[in-house]
């Protein structure tokens, strides 16, 4: 074990570390801190819970002790994948920088832009941010990154899972090429390896432990459920929480929607539980985490947003309600317990549908967890699955808009919706709306004049709604003939049309009544209306 005093840190930093109660450095801290103090790039590979935050925070504080910040130009930048992890880094920096005149700012979503801009305008030495909010400030012109001397990327493989790699590449391009880069990741997938080769300059590779290796202080268990029904899984979870001596525990689910359901089920049955996932607002998430840290909340039901990097001390139990889709997530989930030399217990609920995911987890950890037999009468648990359709007659009907309706809605339609004769739908398709002030012209027909009266609905058409029911639909009936307008109809015009007629030249109004050429009416071409002219004589 290596003491912090042997790593080359300044007396002020050592005093701040001693005030926190730590005296011995973890393996990743013992190897990374001396290299980082020299100004070299670091590629750190270590699983969660090994002290990576202090491995880059402590040397960064020492290197930034000399110098002065400028407005909107941070001297160092720390990028974290989640709001919770970024807030944890900010707490660590505030704790380890006591006694030194260093300023910092936290840029995360869910917080007012104005408050963050005020801090940036004053100038900060350390900027801690999530990729999305950092780029938002940059695009607003409130932030410049050409003064960054130290760039830290934390939980890089988690960035990959969340789709932040293009944003990370943009951030690297916006920072100076000559800078120190501290790059930390729990695993090294090909995309992360490509990123390190592209942006790191001759880094020192530090691998404190084998990737995806579970801690020896964690006791792992498996509870098998004979059904994949959610109700059976929730029953098994309550049985596990009830039989174990749970001081505080985290329940992990694969889907955010499942988090709310499981938390509600636990609270309904008397357990002190609260959900946390990415869809909750930032204040609710921070308030829930703070209650869990203080011991006011017993069970935290979380998605994988809380699986990485959260420094929650003395978590006694971790429950995997779902087998994770990726085997690496299992290691990060159970890493929330058994930290700093403490022991912890983990339980994973396994259904018949989880065989493939379970095999990947067992292959990765290289061991077989102990199996727990639950004293539950599974035959008494009714499944929650939807009833299967047995025949075409029971399929839900469709309403007029194409939407499905429940069977009970079919026979209980309002009386006023039923038409004794012709349904409203065919009438709407074959005739213009009766509520309009001026009926529209029929499609595909030219007007009989420049301001000819619009087509009117025949008097017999409204009677279709009152006629007795017929088997044939209206659209199959014989086409209606356009009614012949009488001269009186031409004179019956709206006041607006009469006013427009008075404003037109007399010649244009006469065109409406001109019938000198048979077959053309008011649309008679001009060359036919003009008397023929004889060409001028050559004499």
Same domain, 200 and 108: yes
Task: Judge whether residue 213 has pLDDT over 70.
Answer: no
Q: Last residue of some domain: 362, 378, 394?
A: 378
pLDDT score of 73 more than 60: yes
Out of 117-121, 234-238, 312-316, least confident range: 312-316
pLDDT tops 50 at residue 458 = no
Task: Flag whether pLDDT at 366 surpasses 60.
Answer: yes
Place of tokens 């985490």: 289
Rounded Cα gap, residues 305 and 42, in angstroms? 26
Average pLDDT over residues 341-364: 92
pLDDT-derived band at 210, boundaries 50, 70, 90: low
Confidence bin at 323 (pLDDT 50/70/90): very high
Residues 285 and 172 in one domain: no
Q: What percent of the chain has pLDDT over 70?
A: 68
- 259 and 196, same structural domain? no
Domain interval for residue 93: 2-207
Q: Tell me, yes or no, whether 452 lies in a domain.
A: no
Are both 195 and 240 inside the same structural domain?
Answer: no
Check residue 391 and give its pLDDT: 37
Q: What share of the chain is helix, strand, coil (3-state, %, to 5)?
A: 40, 15, 45
163 and 234 co-located in one domain: no
What is the pLDDT averaged over residues 346-361? 94
| 186 and 268 within one domain | no
Looking at every residue in the chain, the average pLDDT score rounds to: 77
Q: Are 144 and 120 in contact (CB under 8 A)?
A: no
- Residue 530 has a pLDDT of 57
pLDDT at 454: 46
Residues 218 and 344: beta-carbon distance below 8 Å: yes
The DSSP bridge partners found for residue 183 are 43, 153
Work out the average pLDDT over 84-95: 91
Q: Which is more confidently placed, 465 or 155?
A: 155
Query: Is 183 inside any structural domain?
Result: yes
Do residues 157 and 212 touch, judged by C-beta distance below 8 A?
no
Domain endpoint, select from 207, 234, 261: 207
* Residues 148 and 278 occupy one common structural domain: no
Whether residue 113 is found in the same domain as residue 234: no
Most confident of 174-188, 200-214, 371-385: 174-188
Whether residue 148 is found in the same domain as residue 167 = yes
**pLDDT on residue 415:** 35
Q: pLDDT tens digit string along 156-165?
A: 988 988 899 9
CA–CA distance, 347 with 263 (Å, rounded to integer) = 17
User: Could you count the other beta carbons within 10 Å of the beta carbon of residue 277?
Assistant: 20
Q: Give Cβ neighbours of residue 34 (< 8 Å, ≥ 6 apart).
A: 7, 8
- Mean per-residue pLDDT, 63-88: 91
Residue 386 located in a structural domain: no
Q: Any idea which of 78-87, 118-127, 147-156, 376-385 has the lowest mean pLDDT?
A: 376-385
Query: Considering the domain boundaries, does residue 398 fall inside one?
Result: no
Q: Are 445 and 494 in contact, with CB atoms under 8 Å apart?
A: no
400 Cβ partners below 8 Å, 6+ apart?
A: 425
Q: Both tokens of residue 506?
A: 């007399």
- In terms of domains, do 222 and 305 share one? yes
**pLDDT, tens digit (0-9, with 9 covering 90-100), for 165-200:** 999 999 999 999 999 999 998 888 899 999 999 999
Last residue of a domain, one of 347, 378, 409: 378
Is the pLDDT score of 284 beyond 60? yes
Considering the domain boundaries, does residue 486 fall inside one?
no
414/332: higher pLDDT: 332
CATH of the domain at 161: 3.40.50.300
CB-based contact 360:327 (threshold 8 Å): yes
Residues 201 and 70 in one domain: yes
CA pair distance 326, 258, nearest whole angstrom: 17
Give SS3 for 162. Answer: coil
Concatenate the DSSP letters of all residues of 370-384 into one string.
Answer: EEE-----GGGPPP-
Question: Above 90 in pLDDT, residue 467?
Answer: no
- pLDDT tens string 389-448: 333 333 444 444 444 444 334 333 333 333 333 333 443 333 344 443 444 444 544 444
- Whole-number Å distance between alpha carbons of 123 and 75: 9
- Residue 369 pLDDT: 93
Q: Looking at the domain assignment, is residue 44 inside a domain?
A: yes
| pLDDT over 50 at 16, yes or no | yes
Average pLDDT rounded to a whole number, residues 88-107: 91
| 154 and 130 in a common domain | yes
Question: The tokens of 80 are what?
Answer: 């974290």
Residue with tokens 């029911």, as numbered in its chain: 469
pLDDT digits (tens, 9 = 90+) for 437-450: 444 444 544 444 44
pLDDT (average), residues 286-310: 83
Query: How many domains does the chain fold into?
Result: 2
The pLDDT, as a whole number, for residue 339 is 76
Q: What is the DSSP string of 246-292?
A: -SSEEEE-SSHHHHHHHHHHHHHTT--EEEE-TTS-HHHHHHHHHHH
Domain membership of residue 81 (yes or no) is yes
Instruction: Give a yes or no: residue 34 inside a domain.
Output: yes
Q: Where are the alpha helices (DSSP H) in 44-164?
A: 52-64, 83-96, 113-122, 131-139, 156-161
Nearest to 201 by CA among 60, 59, 41: 41
pLDDT at 469: 47
Cα separation, 374 vs 225, in Å, equals 9
User: For residue 126, what is the enclosing H or E element?
Assistant: strand 126-129
Q: How would you label 422-441 residue by residue, b for 16+ Cβ within 10 Å and e otherwise?
A: beeebbeebbbeeeeeeeee
The residue among 432, 421, 521 whose CA lies nearest residue 467 is 421
Confidence band of 487 (pLDDT split at 50, 70, 90): very low
């Amino acid at each position: 074990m290596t003491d912090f005093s042997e790593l080359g840190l300044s007396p002020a930093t050592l005093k701040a570390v001693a005030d926190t109660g730590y005296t011995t450095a973890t393996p990743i801290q013992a190897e990374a801190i001396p290299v980082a103090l020299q100004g070299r790039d670091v590629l750190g590979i270590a699983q969660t819970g090994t002290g990576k935050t202090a491995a880059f925070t402590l040397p960064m504080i020492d290197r930034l002790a000399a110098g002065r910040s400028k407005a909107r130009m941070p001297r160092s930048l720390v990028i974290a994948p989640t709001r919770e992890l970024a807030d944890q880094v900010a707490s660590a920096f505030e704790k380890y920088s006591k006694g030194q005149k260093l300023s910092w700012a936290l840029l995360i979503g869910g917080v007012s832009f104005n408050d963050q801009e005020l801090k940036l305008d004053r100038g900060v030495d350390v900027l801690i941010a999530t990729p999305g909010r950092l780029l938002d400030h940059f695009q607003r012109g409130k932030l410049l990154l050409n003064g960054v001397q130290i760039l830290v990327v934390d939980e890089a493989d988690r960035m990959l899972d969340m789709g932040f790699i293009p944003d990370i590449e943009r951030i690297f391009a916006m920072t100076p090429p000559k800078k120190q880069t501290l790059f930390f990741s729990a695993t090294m997938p090909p995309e992360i390896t490509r990123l390190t080769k592209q942006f790191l300059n001759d880094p020192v590779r530090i691998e404190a432990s084998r990737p995806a290796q579970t801690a020896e202080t964690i006791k792992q268990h498996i509870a098998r459920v004979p059904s994949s029904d959610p109700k059976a899984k929730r029953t098994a979870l309550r049985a596990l929480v009830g039989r174990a001596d749970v001081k505080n525990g985290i329940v992990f689910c694969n889907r955010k929607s499942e988090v709310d359901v499981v938390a509600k089920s636990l609270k309904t049955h008397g357990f002190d539980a609260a959900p946390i996932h990415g869809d909750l607002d930032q204040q609710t998430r921070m308030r829930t985490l703070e209650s869990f840290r203080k011991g006011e909340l017993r069970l935290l039901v979380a998605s994988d947003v809380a699986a990485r990097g959260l420094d929650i001390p003395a978590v006694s139990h971790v429950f995997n309600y779902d087998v994770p889709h990726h085997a690496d997530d299992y290691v990060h989930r159970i890493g929330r317990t058994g930290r700093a030399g403490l022991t912890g217990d983990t339980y994973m609920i396994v259904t018949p549908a989880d065989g493939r995911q379970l095999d990947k987890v067992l292959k990765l950890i290289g061991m077989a967890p102990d199996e727990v037999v639950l004293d539950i009468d599974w035959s008494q648990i009714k499944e929650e699955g939807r009833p299967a359709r047995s025949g075409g007659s029971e399929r839900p009907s469709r309403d007029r808009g194409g939407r499905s309706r429940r069977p009970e809605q079919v026979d209980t339609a309002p009386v006023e919706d039923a038409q004794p004769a012709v349904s409203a739908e065919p009438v709407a398709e074959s005739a213009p709306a009766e509520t309009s002030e001026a009926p529209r012209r029929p499609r595909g027909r030219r007007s009989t004049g420049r301001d000819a009266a619009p087509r009117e609905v025949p008097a017999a058409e409204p009677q279709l709604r009152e006629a007795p029911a017929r088997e044939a639909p209206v659209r199959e009936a014989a086409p209606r003939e356009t009614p012949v307008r009488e001269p009186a109809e031409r004179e019956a015009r709206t006041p607006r049309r009469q006013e427009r007629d008075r404003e037109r030249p007399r010649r244009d109004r006469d065109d409406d009544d001109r019938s000198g050429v048979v077959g053309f009416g008011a649309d008679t071409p001009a060359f036919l209306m003009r008397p023929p002219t004889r060409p001028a004589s050559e004499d």
